[in-house]
């Protein structure tokens, strides 16, 4: 920035502004992604077993969804809405499909998972009813005990590049939690979606493996 003035005291008044602008620029730089860094824990080498999602299969689930209203802007406001999910294994458990129905949002989606026995790793894909597109690349990872971690690169709804993390926690036989977080700066995570699952009666919640509508 260049300041032009013919009043000696005007520069003194402008100095705090110059420093403030510099501080703002530095703060903005701090939020920019560091291409040489990775956010805490990020790894596309997490492994698991073909039985990681057995817990979730063959059941119907009621879930309360919590979604951050805006990502990457420091928002603290959340939407909360109900959903139901039905999960089905295929190929002896090597592939699974979950369909989730979110009636208050007028939306649904499919989670498709495939297990690579050579890598001991799951790949997770999402298809939204809004566009029918299989989202790529996949999230990859697996479980260690009751804790699952999955990671991958992606872009947010505004097209900004992010690192993505899924965390699964199997709380007990009838309860589970899923969390999604984005990293915009390759240094910190912002959790933006949480699903709290409660096991339900599949006969009441599902028709032919799909959520009853």
Q: Answer whether residue 145 is part of any domain.
A: yes
Mean pLDDT of 172-181: 98
The DSSP symbol for 76 reads -
> What is the C-alpha to C-alpha distance for residues 213 and 209, in angstroms, rounded to an integer?
12
The overall pTM is greater than 0.85: no
Q: Looking at the predicted structure, is the pLDDT value of residue 30 above 60?
A: no
Q: Would you place residue 10 in the very low, low, confident or very high pLDDT band (cuts 50, 70, 90)?
A: very low
Q: Answer whether residue 13 is part of any domain.
A: no
Q: Answer whether residue 87 is part of any domain.
A: yes
Containing structural domain, residue 145: 54-207
Mean pLDDT of 132-141: 96
Q: Would you place residue 31 in the very low, low, confident or very high pLDDT band (cuts 50, 70, 90)?
A: low
Q: Answer whether residue 159 is part of any domain.
A: yes
Q: Answer whether residue 39 is part of any domain.
A: no
pLDDT at 62: 98
Give the chain's domain count.
1
Q: Would you place residue 34 in the very low, low, confident or very high pLDDT band (cuts 50, 70, 90)?
A: confident
Q: Answer whether residue 123 is part of any domain.
A: yes
**Residue 179 CA neighbour count, 13 Å, CB half:** 13
- CATH assignment of the domain containing 96: 2.40.128.20
Contact 68, 78 (CB under 8 A): yes
Cβ count within 10 A of residue 199: 17
Q: Answer whether residue 26 is part of any domain.
A: no
Average pLDDT of the chain, as a whole number: 87
> What is the C-alpha to C-alpha distance for residues 153 and 168, in angstroms, rounded to an integer?
18
Q: Answer whether residue 184 is part of any domain.
A: yes
For 70-85, what is each residue's pLDDT tens digit? 999 999 999 999 999 9
Region of 113 (left: φ > 0; alpha: ψ -120 to 50; beta: rest) is beta
Q: What would the two tokens of residue 164 be?
A: 């993505």
Q: What would the two tokens of residue 73 be?
A: 């802007």
For 12-27, what is each residue's pLDDT tens digit? 223 333 333 443 343 3
């Amino acid at each position: 920035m260049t300041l032009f003035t013919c009043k000696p005291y005007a520069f003194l008044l402008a100095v705090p502004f110059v420093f403030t602008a510099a501080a703002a620029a530095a703060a903005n730089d701090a939020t920019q992604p560091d291409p040489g860094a990775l956010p805490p824990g990020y790894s596309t080498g997490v492994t698991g077993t073909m039985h990681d999602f057995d817990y979730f299969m063959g059941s119907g689930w009621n879930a309360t969804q919590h979604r951050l209203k805006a990502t990457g802007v420091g928002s603290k406001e959340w939407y909360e809405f109900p959903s139901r999910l039905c999960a089905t294994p295929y190929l002896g458990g090597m592939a699974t499909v979950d369909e989730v129905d979110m009636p208050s949002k007028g939306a649904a989606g499919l989670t498709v998972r495939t297990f690579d026995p050579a890598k001991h790793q799951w790949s997770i894909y999402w298809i939204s009813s809004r566009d029918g597109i299989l989202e790529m690349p996949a999230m990859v990872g697996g479980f260690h005990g009751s804790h699952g971690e999955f990671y991958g690169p992606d872009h947010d709804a505004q097209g900004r590049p992010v690192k993505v993390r899924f965390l699964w926690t199997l709380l007990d036989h009838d309860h589970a939690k899923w969390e999604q977080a984005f990293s915009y700066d390759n240094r910190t995570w912002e959790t933006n979606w949480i699903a709290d699952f409660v096991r339900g009666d599949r006969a009441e919640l599902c028709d032919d493996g799909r959520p009853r509508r």
